[in-house]
Amino acid sequence: MFEDLYLPPGIDPGQIVARLGLISDTHFSRRLRELPTAVFEVLRGVDLVLHAGDVGELSVFDQLGRIAPVIAVHGNDDSPESQRELPVQQLIAVAGQRILLHHGHSPDPDEERARRQDDVWAPKLARLAAAGRRVGASVVVSGHTHVPMTCLQDDVLLVNPGAIASPSSATRQIVQTVAVLYILKDIQPRVAHVDLAAPNRIFIPDIDWEAGFRAAHGRCSVSILDPDLAADWPRFEALARALAFEPWIQAVQRVAHRVWAGELAVITRADLIRELEREPTLPAEARRQLLARLNSLR
């Protein structure tokens, strides 16, 4: 039975008031063309699905809605459609428990960039807990980091289900997880994470808080760039964003999907050159500059 498989030890099934399925960072369908089958197996029987943002296309809800009703927020790297139609946060009440659903990013781009420079976990956790306390929530469900976690911070239970898709088109999400949040009678809610690669058992996120955020992130996602390309990727990416971001990202994602599908080992300079040469929406001058910079990488 569903509750026997994922119910945390020491909890009587009779204590369960509600089961909530948690998912985040699907980035559908730019970085994820199809939800893994295990998502439906793991979340089967939940009362509600909460999506913590970076949804991608709203059509992903057509699939998740086969499991249970869905409540969602948008993230910082979401489609224009999802940013338009979904709120930045939702306050949900279930059996007397307030749950704040929020992607976890700052809506201010400069502040978000500054936060990304900070490798310490403490301020990140404190911000999430403070957001929960402001609305009287006992639980905050967020995404954004692509790192599955459960943490009690200032009497607020912080939960990140982890991610399904990669954090960028230059990376691979090597740990794909979802979570089940158990709302229980008269005691604090419990969380069970599940690795989609091993859906028959509970996954325990193992985070070394002192080692910093990047160490935890590096255990969940890895670069798919050839080392020769990776060394100069930040400069090349900055130029692409300045010239023609959308055509460039379309070209990158075509080859990235081949890596994610196992057809290629990494993205090489030659792969990217071929994609940029054939991208029909890329302006001629942008193509010239991007190919010149790409060919000059050493």
CATH assignment at residue 123: 3.60.21.10
Q: How much is the pTM? A: 0.96
| pLDDT for position 166 | 98
Q: Locate tokens 């639980």: which residue?
A: 139
C-alpha 296/C-alpha 166 separation (Å) is 28
Domain final residue pick, 187, 222, 257: 222
Domain that holds residue 66: 2-222
From 144, 190, 121, 155, select the one nearest 51 (Cα to Cα).
Answer: 144
Q: Work out how many domains the chain is built from and give that number.
A: 2
| Each residue's pLDDT expressed in tens, for the chain with a length of 298 residues | 444 699 988 999 999 999 999 999 999 999 999 999 999 999 999 999 999 999 999 999 999 999 999 999 999 999 999 999 999 999 999 999 999 999 999 999 899 989 999 999 999 999 999 999 999 999 999 999 999 999 999 999 999 999 999 999 999 999 999 999 999 999 999 999 999 999 999 999 999 999 999 999 999 999 999 999 999 999 999 999 999 999 999 999 999 999 999 999 999 999 999 999 999 999 999 999 999 999 885 4
| pLDDT for position 109 | 87
- Same structural domain, 38 and 183: yes
Domain final residue pick, 222, 239, 262: 222
> Burial letters for 207-224: b for 16+ Cβ neighbours within 10 Å, e otherwise?
beeeeebeebbebbbebb
- Same structural domain, 108 and 90: yes
| pLDDT for position 2 | 45
From 283, 95, 83, 89, select the one nearest 181 (Cα to Cα).
Answer: 95
Helix axes 269-278, 233-260, angle to 10 degrees: 90
217 neighbors 146 (Cβ within 8 angstroms): yes
Residues pairing with 153 in the sheet: 156
- Same structural domain, 185 and 108: yes
